[in-house]
Amino acid sequence: MTFDYELVGKIGSMALIDREDGIIDYTRVARISRELRPGYIWVSSGATEIGRLDFLQRTGKELTGEHAKTDYAAQGQAILMQTYRQFIDPAYSVRQVLVEHHHFNDEQKSEHLKGLLLRCREQSAIPIVNYNDAVSSEENRRMEILALSDGHRRVFECVDNDETASRIACLVHAKNLVIFTSVDGIYFDPDDRATLVKRISGKDAYELVNAIEEYKKCCVGASRAGANGARAKLEYVKDAAAQGTTVYIANAKYTLSAVLSGDAPCTKIGIGLTK
């Protein structure tokens, strides 16, 4: 099977922030950044929370009102990109790519985005992708999503970067999709870490999708208020896995190389997996 990209990876806000000190976990970002290279696309949450923490540290107070998330995201994006640029190999270019739902629901915009990402690979550049919260009005977005749904078509919202990463993996036909989170993967019993699901597989796409649906029944809860949790992750990665992408849901405390080599515990999802 031919793939256009080697890897699409994603890290969530909870895994990117040092909660004890209220700052970016620079050690984690540095470790991840040093593994990124052309042929990798990195989807990074965290701009809104990083912007909030930065504003709080500079002013001693937090923003209030309906536009606080927008303002925090605009402030945090600059810091997030500066941090990745600091640690990524200086031989490689770094390009910020901010997306919204319409980039995945409009064929022309999807093709434009795909072209940009493919050029990054050819030009030794690493795309750092995030949802464009700074200019996205939640009310307008909901109206647009509703309008698209009225056409009885499948609609991608992509506010959750797990979905964004999965849609990008489908768009560029990635060999691997790594979803970094704050736990080691999917569990039969979320309260029992001994019940980690190490592999979800099927002999073909149809059988794999059915297996994913069965494991979704085990998933309850989320790592933080407002997060969609393990059930949503499995739903989001379903299309990518069905097209032949191997999916890893893993703890962000491990390196990418350890996850891909099987040296780190994780949940691995794909067609015809034997180990």
The 10s digit of each residue's pLDDT in 156-185 is: 777 789 999 999 999 999 999 999 998 999
- For residue 85 the two structure tokens come to 């640029």
194: domain range? 5-271
Position 227 scores a pLDDT of 43
Segment among 96-105, 151-160, 165-174 with least mean pLDDT: 151-160
User: What tens digit of pLDDT does each residue of 25-63 get?
Assistant: 999 999 999 999 999 999 999 999 999 999 999 999 999
Our count of domains for the chain comes to: 1
Q: How large a percentage of the chain has pLDDT more than 90?
A: 70
For the cut 80, the answer to whether the pLDDT of residue 142 exceeds it is: no
Query: Phi and psi at residue 22, in whole multiples of 5°?
Result: 70, 35
| 8 Å CB contact between 257 and 185 | no
Average pLDDT of span 88-98: 97
- Gyration radius (Cα) of the chain, Å: 18
- For residue 159 the two structure tokens come to 């506010």
Position 174 scores a pLDDT of 98
User: What tens digit of pLDDT does each residue of 194-229 get?
Assistant: 999 999 999 999 999 999 999 988 776 444 433 457
Q: Closest by alpha carbon to 244, among 272, 263, 222?
A: 272
Q: What is the pTM of this model?
A: 0.91
Q: What is the CATH number of the domain that holds 11?
A: 3.40.1160.10
For the cut 60, the answer to whether the pLDDT of residue 111 exceeds it is: yes
Query: Phi and psi at residue 92, in whole multiples of 5°?
Result: -105, 145
Query: Phi and psi at residue 216, in whole multiples of 5°?
Result: -60, -30
Angle between helices 68-87 and 47-59 (to 10 degrees): 100
